[in-house]
Chain A
Amino acid sequence: MKTRETIIEYLLKFAASITIFTTIGIIMVLLFETTAFFREVSFLDFITDKEWTPLFAQKHFGILPLVSGTLLTTLIAITVALPIGLTIAVYLNMYAPKGFRKIFKPLLEVLAAVPTVVYGFFALTIVTPFLQSIYPKLSGFNALSPGIVMGIMIIPFVSSLSEDALYAVPKRLKEASFGMGATRFQTSFKVMIPAASSGIIVSIILAISRAIGETMIVAIAAGQQPRFGFDPTVPIETITAYIVQVSMGDVPHGSLEYRTIFAAGITLFVFTFALNSISFWIKTKYQEKYD
């Protein structure tokens, strides 16, 4: 009986430690292949060269074009998602009738459940032609259309998590503000949002991190042309889209081209890891401010 209990405990402990092995695995794999990559390519070139052409005869290994493509689409996405998501959060929390919030919060979360390949199709076949009808010079592949669509996809990240944060603000703050004769708008922006700011910032950071790692929308609708710059109307390539592009082809294991996807991957990992750590730090530091 006793031994059985002990065996079970060890089995469960092993299951839990698989999550640790996963993290170690990710870091080891990325470091191992990237080290091999930097034996052939200088690190200085990697972070300063403004061209990324590992698949061409004239090879350049500057990550900047992929980074600028990633930041550009992310910036467009957050420009769409932040104002809309935050407005929804405030509206649902402060204005909407009681039943409304219960119905519309999960309904909006459907936006995040749609597979991203579907959004890619939507960006390429519907949003891009629509934008072209307004601005005819827009290329068939561009950063604008997938950026906007990605923004729509991450609206529920901002709206749901921010609403949770607003919901957690003690009622007495709201009532005190109303008692002073403030309107709902004044209470929202002068009392509630400042009080819930840590939770709202966390939701925004998570949405940014999600947009940086998003793959299929940009792989389908943004093109495959690494380009250093921030023009949203021309084809670009993101870090994630490059990894997909190489994976679709037949690149032999151990070649320099094979290693480029790990070098690109570790860049992506560093970005998202930093963002996730910041949000975790904010969450633990400011969590119980009002208890």
Chain B
Amino acid sequence: MTNAQKNKVIDKGFQVIGIVCTFFGLVILAILIYNILEEGLTRIDWDFMKNLPSRRPQKAGIYTAVMGTLWVLVLTTLIAFPVAVGAGIYLEEYAKKNKLASLLEINIANLAGVPSIIYGLLGLEIFVRIFGLGGSVLAGSLTLSLLILPIIIVATREAIKAVPSSIKDASMALGASKWQTIWNQTLPAAIGGILTGVILAISRAIGETAPLIVVGALAYVPFAPSSPMDEFTVMPIQIFNWVSRPQHAFSVNAAAAIIVLLLITFIMNGIAVYFRNKWQKKVKW
């Protein structure tokens, strides 16, 4: 075999390996989903959705966990959205290109790389102990808000950056103030990108387990929360609790709860992708 032929064989060989590797991850994902569906799908019924947790696996349900997750999500969004979008606007439109701005930038990049469980330790000390919030929905939501701030800030900045300066210049030339220009021109044009980032950040928050365990979300909560100061659990913690038990029936419960959790996560990611495509197509400057 000549050198050229040998090189051709290697080239073709790598192509095959490339295809195998690309499908490897997807096949694993398919196996995971198949196994979970097989194990848990028959367990899901209306009772499973609305029953309280129980020591008997057949009677246990995910009602308190679903309600806890909803509470945490709504509060986290309410807290993180204005702060993160505000920070994004400041960095993109107001901050001068100086030391402080680059410090803020490096800092946000770094925060995005801090493990989520460290945020849990921060929340435990600051919100739970010093603010005296205890293991409440509010303490958990504040912690998750800090965790997702960097994601939304980065998305906001990119969305604002994509708005052409001609729009802003025109607005300013007509006598609008800086804030009027941002509020009436820049933000409406950037909202698609911002919302995409928010949805992705929330779907990340839904799956977070570790920081909430650290701030004191409980594995067993007899009632759904009715105020931000109530104790709570969330779906991933309920799943963790069920997975950790030796009886097989609880493992079935865990699989059933995972189906619900994955469904929510995939739907939110799907919405985000749809949003991004639609928004990118529509806005042509």
Q: Chain A interface (Cβ within 8 Å of chain B)?
A: 1, 4-5, 8-9, 11-20, 22-23, 25-26, 29-30, 32-33, 83-84, 87-88, 90-92, 95-96, 104, 106-108, 110-111, 113-122, 124-126, 152, 155-156, 183-186, 188, 206, 209, 212-216, 219-220, 240, 243-244, 247-248, 253, 261-262, 265, 268-269, 272-273, 275-277, 280
Nearest CB on B from A159, distance (A):
8
The answer to whether B239 and A183 have CB atoms under 8 Å apart is no
Chain B residues lying within 8 Å of A95, measured Cβ to Cβ, are: 14-15, 18
Q: Are B210 and A216 in contact (CB under 8 A)?
A: yes
Task: Write out the residue numbers on chain A whose beta carbons fall within 8 Å of the beta carbon of B122.
Answer: 22, 25-26, 29
Residues of A contacting B273 in the complex (Cβ-Cβ under 8 angstroms): 106
A91 touches B206 (CB 8 A): no
Q: Which chain A residue lies CB-closest to B215? A: A247
Instruction: Give the segment of B50-58, B146-154, B223-231 that binds chain A.
Output: B146-154
Interface residues of B in 121-135 (CB under 8 A from A): 121-122, 124-126, 129
Which 4 residue pairs across A and B have the least CB separation, nearest first? A213-B115, A91-B18, A115-B207, A15-B86
Would you give the 0/1 interface string for B246-272, flagging 1 where the beta carbon is closer than 8 Å to chain A?
000001001100100110011001000
Q: Min CB distance, B177 to chain A, in Å? A: 6
CA distance A114 to B206 in the complex (A): 10
A240 to B121, CA, bound (A): 11
Q: Are the CB atoms of B11 and A15 closer together than 8 Å?
A: no
* Whole-angstrom CA separation of A49 from B2 in the bound complex: 59
Which residues on the B side are within 8 Å of A19 (C-beta)? Answer: 87, 104, 107-108, 111, 149-150, 153
Q: Which of these, A20, A124, A188, A215, contacts B243 with CB under 8 Å?
A: A124
B residues in contact with A33, CB < 8 Å? 125
Given known A-B contacts A5-B177, A117-B240, A276 and B113 have beta carbons under 8 A apart = yes
* A66 → chain B closest CB, angstroms: 13
CA–CA, A184 and B117, complex, Å: 43
Given contacts A12-B89, A121-B255, A280-B106, contact A110 B117 (CB under 8 A): no
B269 touching A113, Cβ below 8 Å: yes
Instruction: Name the contact of A115 in the complex, choosing from B28, B90, B209 (C-beta under 8 A).
Output: B209
Apart from A183-B11, A273-B110, list 14 A-B contacts with CB within 8 A. Answer: A4-B179, A12-B90, A15-B90, A26-B114, A88-B22, A96-B18, A125-B243, A152-B25, A155-B25, A185-B11, A188-B14, A216-B210, A244-B214, A253-B129
Closest A residue, CB atoms, query B91: A16
Contacting residue for B22 out of A13, A108, A152, A216, CB 8 A: A108
In the complex, the answer to whether A84 meets B255 with C-beta atoms within 8 Å is no
CB of A265 within 8 A of CB of B117, answer yes
* CA–CA, A30 and B114, complex, Å: 13
> Using Cβ atoms and an 8 Å threshold, which residues of chain A touch B91?
16
Name which residue of chain B comes closest to A245, CB basis: B213
Q: Is the CB of A91 within 8 A of B214?
A: no
Q: Which residues of A contact B258 (CB under 8 A)?
A: 117-118, 121
* Residue from A12, A111, A215, A269 within 8 A of B86 (CB atoms): A12
Complex Cα–Cα for A272 and B115 (A): 8
Tell me whether A185 and B7 are in contact (CB under 8 A). Answer: yes
| Whole-angstrom distance between the Cβ of A237 and the nearest chain B Cβ | 14
Tally B residues with Cβ within 8 Å of A: 86
- Closest-CB distance, B178 to chain A (whole angstroms): 6
Could you say which of B19, B113, B116, B214 has the most chain A C-beta atoms within 10 Å of its C-beta?
Answer: B113
CB distance B236 to A117 under 8 Å? yes
Mostly, the A contact residues are helix
Measured between alpha carbons, how far is A121 from B251 in the docked complex, in Å? 9
Pair B239/A117 contact, Cβ less than 8 Å? yes
Interface hits, B71-93 → A, CB 8 Å: 82-84, 86-87, 89-91
Q: How far is the CB of B130 from chain A (nearest CB, A)?
A: 9
Q: Which of A90, A108, A268 contacts B115 (CB 8 A)?
A: A268
Q: List 8 A-B contacts (CB under 8 A).
A: A12-B86, A26-B119, A91-B18, A96-B22, A108-B22, A113-B265, A212-B115, A213-B116
- Asked if residues B206 and A122 are in contact (CB atoms below 8 Å), the reply is no
When distances are taken between beta carbons in the complex, the residues of chain A under 8 Å from B262 are: 114-115, 118
Residue B162 at the chain A interface, CB threshold 8 Å:
no
A residues near B28, Cβ cutoff 8 Å:
111, 152
Surface stretch bound by A, among B31-39, B41-49, B166-174, B189-197: B31-39
Contacts of A277 in B (CB 8 A): 110
State whether B114 touches A269 (Cβ < 8 A): yes
Q: Note all chain A residues with C-beta closer than 8 A to B120.
A: 243, 247
Cβ 8 A contact of B121, one of A9, A104, A116, A261:
A261
How far is it, in angstroms, between the C-alpha of A115 and the C-alpha of B149 when the chains are bound?
19
Q: In the assembly, what is the distance between CA of A219 and CA of B89, in Å? A: 39
- Contacts A12-B86, A16-B86, A253-B129 given: A115-B117 contact, CB under 8 Å? no
Q: How far is the CA of A261 from the CA of B213 in the complex (A)?
A: 13
CB distance from B143 to the nearest CB of A (A): 11
- Please tell me if the beta carbons of B177 and A16 are within 8 angstroms of each other in the complex: no
Decide: A91 and B15 in contact? CB cutoff 8 A: yes
- Measured between C-beta atoms, what is the minimum distance from A132 to chain B in Å? 16
